[in-house]
Structure 1
Amino acid sequence: MERPKGPVLTSQQKRILAVAILGGGGAALVEIRSLLKAVRKEQQTICGLDDVKTHGKASGSRIQVDKRFLVRLGKILSLCVPGLWSREAALIAAQGGLLVSRTLLTEVVSTLEGISGRHITNGDWPLFVRSLLKFAGICVPAALVNAGLKLMQKQLQLAWSSRITRHLHEKYCENKAFYAASVLNGLSHADQRITEDVENFCFTLSELFSYTFKPLLDIALFTRTLSRTMGYRAQLTLYAYYLGVGALLRATAPPLARMVAQESSLTASFRAAHQRLVSHAEEVAFNDPPAGAAERMILNQHLGRLLRYSHLSSLQRFFQQVNDQYFVKYMASIVSLGLYALFQYSSPDYSDLDLAQRTERYIKTVRLLSNTSRGIGDLMLVYKRVAGLAGHTSRVSELLEAVERLSNESHHEAFRRRQSHQGPSPPEATDAGTDPRRQQGEAIAFEDVAVDSPDGTPLVRHLTFSVLPGRSVIIMGPNGSGKSSLLRCLAGLWPHQAGVVTSPPKGAMFYLAQRPYLVSGSLRDQLLYPMPPSAVWASARKAERDLFPADYEPPTRSDEAHLLRCIEAVELEYLLSRHDGGWEAVKNWQEILSGGKKQRLAMARLLYHKPKYAILDECTSAVSADGEAKLYKAVLAAGITACSIAHRPQLRKFHSIAIVFEGMSASNPKGWRCEYLDSENCTD
């Protein structure tokens, strides 16, 4: 029975349909272009808001593959591969050798596949089995090479990450750069940049090497082989197609480098919001409700910006991948097969080949064409990887540049930068007195010193007093009057605006804060700090040990009597029996000890090191009044002279001089006064 025929379109109807399809497609392209433009504008709005919240201003720096990117990448590569005879250079050479082996093995496999196809067509079973055995034999080195490439890529990633991170640690821990980065706003999200951003950069770079070198090698070797069956003209035509497609894809690609960098920045802001909640969990809990709900809103706002930006990025990548898949994968295969058929049918020797030979040539050529097309496609899509690398390079390079700057410059520069961001200083800030100067001496002394806050607010003027050995000084006053600021000036963390600050030699001063820092390690390590934990010292490199005094060695069991006296003086000796291991007990001391016990342990640390001067910043505020008195008696009995900040008036009896900060006013333009607490007097 004859099937009924459907309606047949006339020529005019076909033309109308074609015009309608083209018109609809054109309108869709215009709509997509407008959509992508709106998407990118919204992304910049999201990042602008985040940058204003983080830094106080919107960032205008452009992130793209340009000369600046190449210069930055070159500097980082000089860190990753320090020399031709370095381990990293050897790993690159090994990976290059494996890539060459893989390409040669691919060519052998293609030849064996073609031979197997010829034997199947001829019906020659014994020769087919023999070719299969050869195929199985060649698969052994192929499997080893493929696994070796993955191993070499991971080894390169780890080696480069180690080089960059160790360099960052060296600079970050030099000249108190970590302080300027975290306290003086010298660098945002340093923790994420040093960990995640460096790891992402090294992974992308190690992957890029394989995805660049292998396609180039495949194209070079397979072009030579294909020229015997297709001729160079067919391949040149194929390469011309790829060049045109590459230009088209490059012109329509989204700003991948900027997207990667901005998404990393939003991720860092989201994590910082969580860290801020962890740091202030107690205060938030005391004020909950509604503090918990407020924090949830803040966290969800950061999460919403990150997710919205990621959704917009995925939409742009979707349209990009549609183009990539169509032009690079599918259309390229059609063009390759069409060119192969065209040049084969026009070849004079093609008609002389029998069916088996044609089958062998077809299988081998198609396999090589497929690998060549894949290589060219990978090479064309390298720009996406390079664009992603540009984003990571920008983040890591900014980190390297900032850490290098902070490790080399005086913190006074970072302080002044922060002041300049706060706006002009008040008029009183300029009336400070003589030019500021620092010097080293046997005692702590301030002569005609002026101190301002980071926002330029004047705190004290013409401050003059000395802390002589055996003559402890207590600094008192309301919060925000400048007590801790003065100690930061003494340590050189902040600049003073006028006068002379004299500090004793390095190692003669020891600082204890209100919230003690307990190092990760054993109970013994808590007293040893700021010297490194024993386990860390044992595994450290010689270059790292050379940063410490030449005669330093971690205490042995023979030194435990001194450690015991120190911990008994602060009434914490029960910790030795409460925790298994005694001095070697490793616990999360920051979590298991109360605030008062942590302060006692810090005082034991002070007694162990026994410096000439102790800078005590509310370091016993969580200890009872009786316990506080015992701690101060132990400090003075050890011959340590204290320069203390405290609010409790009962501590005055342990000091010879009291410096009271009152705030600058018309009645007290200096902002301070001096009281003598024994028979001695002081300059006022």
Structure 2
Amino acid sequence: MSRLAAFFRAFWFLARPYFADRRERTVAVGLLAAIVVLNLASVGLSVWFNSWYNDFYNALQEKDFDAFKTLLLTFSAVAAAFIIVAVYRYYLQQMLQIRWRKWLTEHWLRDWLGDKRYYHMQMLGLDTDNPDQRIAEDLRLFPAYSLSLTLGLMNAVVTLVSFLGILWSLSGDFAISLGGTEYQIPGYMVWFAIVYAAVGTGLTHWIGKPLVKLNFDRQQVEADFRFHLVRVREHAEGIAFQHGEAVEQAGLARRFMAVFNNTYAIMRRTKKLTWFTAGYGQIAVIFPFVVAAPRYFSGGIQLGGLMQTVSAFGQVQEALSYIITAYTDIAEWQAVIDRLTGFQDGMAKARALAAEKQIGVDADGEMLAVGPLALALPDGRPLLDVQALDLAAGDSLLVGGRSGSGKSTLLRAVAGLWLFGRGHVRRPADAASLFLPQKPYLPLGSLRAALAYPRDPADFSDADYRAALAALDLGHLAPRLAEEAYWSQQLSGGEQQRVQLARALLLKPRWLYLDEATSALDTATEAKALAALRDALPDAAVISIGHRPALQQFHRRHAMLESQPQGPAQGPA
């Protein structure tokens, strides 16, 4: 029972925010209320059809043609109403479902992307189970299953309440002799339905319980397989140069085997469940006839009464068997909720760690002032100690040091990304700063969007774009400004770095941070690119990570991080 309570608490935790949202709740509650009313109307029409069975089959038995015609006309009118109810119930449910998914997607994306949480989760290993899968797929399935299964449960309860009294009154008494004494069982068909459904539900849960974990694992292994297919596409050139096809084939085959084994396990378990549920459903067709037959053949009820009884029994039995018929969907629903709550927990942990961060960053200064600052690795080991580092507006500083001494981590701390360590950083505002990493990020879309990122491409004229490209020897790309492409694959590593530097020429930051941002360029191209930056941004302050000679000529000040045999690196020195 505690597991069931925990499941519904998790469901309510995920579902409540949408219906409590100030802007959405009126429409959401209104749609839900309309769907509930239509569901109740559907059950009411089913009750009417149950009564109609009695009159219709009695008319057939008595060969009453006039009653037969009247009942057919009545059926046509009520059936039309039933169709209208069914159509709008489906339409409004789909409308609520897509609005709910839209709201969930917007809010989860905002939460995931907000405060660099996506970065911190990756850095802390809290998103190993494919956040893209959870946002794209699980947020699609959650409202779909939540609506269909909860409304289905409501339908089952209302149907049970509506038909239980009807079946009780139609059942009559069942006489059974034990030890020479005759006992009368009132409403015996109700008890038969309850026992039949209870046994079926228990056996269904026993057979189908493993499907919950299997469905949880399915999304994980499917997402892992797709992710590595994308990795092959993104790194096609590196794989081709190094003849890594056999390794990639083996890796993809291994990951697909996990998909295959999981799918095969689901198939085997579903086969066992289907053996039972299909048999259960087929027996349910004939079972009420067998149970009600004694009263019919004894003359206690007419054919219409028999058919009405069978119909009512079917409704009660179907309502009681709701878990049996929906078990596979319930198992998938539980897996979806488990995955989403796990993702929420990961975001909560990242949020808590960020709140506990002891590296203070004030982005409101007129100069860069770092220190004292002690940076550590995620496992707590000390990495770098900085006693004092200052940089005034318009100045330039090149920071060097051995690999692993903490150069890039220093820039991460200045940017406010690093969570581990303690100390203080004061720097100019984000709007005046631009950080360019060694591996450029070129978003999907037009070349204009890649150059202007993260600004609106409309902020700059074609002349601005062409001038920036020409300054970095990328004039051949100017005719492709409007072209949308996967630029990370279309351009070489050096071209990507130059597009990123062209971005700096467009955005004109007053503070520019470069982390090995020219490492893919040859010496002459690097020198020309740095000269273009100096000419376009004469008053900008620049702090760079790197070792190459052209960088040394581009910066007025040089500093080294000194690695220590024991303990953290020290610097700048």
Cα deviation, 1:250-297, whole Å, max 9, x if unaligned, reads: 455423332322332333333333344344433332221xx3212222
User: In the alignment, what sits opposite 2:93?
Assistant: 153
CA distance in 1, matches of 2:294, 2:529: 95
Counterpart mapping for 1:16-415 below 5 A: 65-82=3-20, 85-125=25-65, 127-188=67-128, 189-231=130-172, 233-241=187-195, 242-288=197-243, 291-326=244-279, 328-344=280-296, 350=301, 358-382=302-326, 385-407=329-351, 409-410=353-354
What's the CA shift for 1:376? 2.4
Cα deviation 1:471-494 (Å, max 9, x = unaligned): 211123443332212211211222
2:477 is the alignment partner of 1:575: yes
Deviation of 1:127 (Å):
4.6
CA RMSD of aligned residues (A): 3.2
CA distance in 2, matches of 1:228, 1:673: 89
Q: Residues 510 and 614 of structure 1 are in contact (CA less than 8 Å); yes or no, is this contact kept in structure 2?
A: yes
Aligned residue pairs total 553
Task: For 1:437 and 1:652, locate their aligned partners in 2 and report how far apart those are by CA, in whole Å.
Answer: 30
Letter in 1 for 2:27: R
* Alpha-carbon distance change, 251 to 670 in structure 1, aligned in 2, over 3 angstroms: closer
Matches within 5 A, 1:601-620: 601-620=499-518
Q: Contact conserved, 1:483 with 1:645, CA < 8 A, in 2? A: yes
Letter in 1 for 2:459: P
Q: Secondary structure at the match of 2:171?
A: coil
Contact between 1:462 and 1:670, CA under 8 Å: does it hold in 2?
Answer: no
Whether the 8 Å contact between 1:193 and 1:395 is mirrored in structure 2 is yes
Distance 1:297 1:574 in 2: 40
Distance 2:160 2:136 in 1: 37
Contact 2:434 2:512 (8 Å CA) reproduced: yes
1:487 aligns with 2:419: no
- The 3 A distance-change label for structure 1 pair 412 and 476 is farther
C-alpha distance in structure 1 between counterparts of 2:55 and 2:440, whole Å: 76
Identity of aligned residues (%): 24
Equivalent residue, structure 2, for 1:592: 490
Q: 1:409 to 1:495 in 2, by over 3 A?
A: closer
Distance 1:458 1:283, change over 3 A: farther
Q: CA deviation at 1:93?
A: 1.5
Equivalent of residue 628 in structure 1, options 526, 547, 561: 526
**SS of equivalent residue, structure 1 residue 621:** coil
> How far apart are the structure 2 equivalents of 1:342 and 1:219?
24
Quote the offset at 1:618 in angstroms: 2.0
Secondary structure at the aligned position of 2:8 is classed as helix
SS in 1 for 2:431: coil
Quick one: structure 1 residues 246 and 650, their matched pair in 2 at CA, closer, same or farther if it must change by over 3 Å?
A: closer
Aligned partner of 1:640 in structure 2 is 540
C-alpha separation between the residues in 1 aligned to 2:316 and 2:568?
80
User: Match of 1:199, as an amino acid?
Assistant: R
Q: Is the 8 A contact 1:661 1:673 kept in 2?
A: yes
Deviation at 1:69, TM superposition (A): 1.7
CA contact (8 A) 1:229 1:365 kept: yes
Which string of whole-angstrom CA distances, capped at 9 and with x for unpartnered residues, describes residues 392-434 of structure 1? Answer: 1111111123224424541876xxxxxxxxxxxxxxxxxxxxx
TM-score of the two chains, using structure 1 as the length reference:
0.73
Deviation at 1:204, TM superposition (A): 1.7
Q: What do residues 501-552 of structure 1 show as CA deviations (whole Å, max 9, x unaligned)?
A: 3322332321112222122333433343223x46xxxxxxxxxxxxxxxxxx
Q: Determine the C-alpha separation between the residues in 1 that align with 2:379 and 2:341.
A: 29
SS in structure 2 of the partner of residue 267 of structure 1:
helix
Q: What's the CA shift for 1:438?
A: 4.8
Tell me if the contact between 1:562 and 1:608 (Cα under 8 Å) persists in the aligned partners: yes
**Contact persistence 1:453–1:485 (CA under 8 A):** no
**How many angstroms apart in 2 are the aligned matches of 1:300 and 1:223?**
55
Q: Distance in 1 between matches of 2:496 and 2:312?
A: 70
Does the aligned pair in 1 maintain the 2:19–2:25 contact within 8 Å? no
Q: TM-score, normalised by structure 2?
A: 0.86
SS in 1 for 2:321: helix
- 2:555 counterpart of 1:651: no
- The structure-2 alpha-carbon separation of the partners of 1:364 and 1:199, relative to structure 1 and needing over 3 Å to count, comes to same
What's 1:539 paired with? none
Contact persistence 1:99–1:214 (CA under 8 A): yes
Give the distance between the partners of 2:135 and 2:104, measured in 1 at CA.
9
Of 422, 443, 448, 2:367 maps to 443
8 Å Cα contact 2:400-2:547 kept in structure 1: yes
State how far apart, in whole Å, the 1-side matches of 2:315 and 2:4 are. Answer: 30
User: How many Å apart are 1:467 and its aligned residue?
Assistant: 2.3
Aligned to 2:179: none
Please tell me whether the aligned partners of residues 194 and 317 of structure 2 are also in contact (alpha carbons under 8 angstroms).
Answer: no
Does the 8 Å contact 1:168/1:403 carry over to 2? no
The residue type paired with residue 17 of structure 2 is: L
Tell me if structure 2 keeps the 8 A contact 1:171–1:404.
no
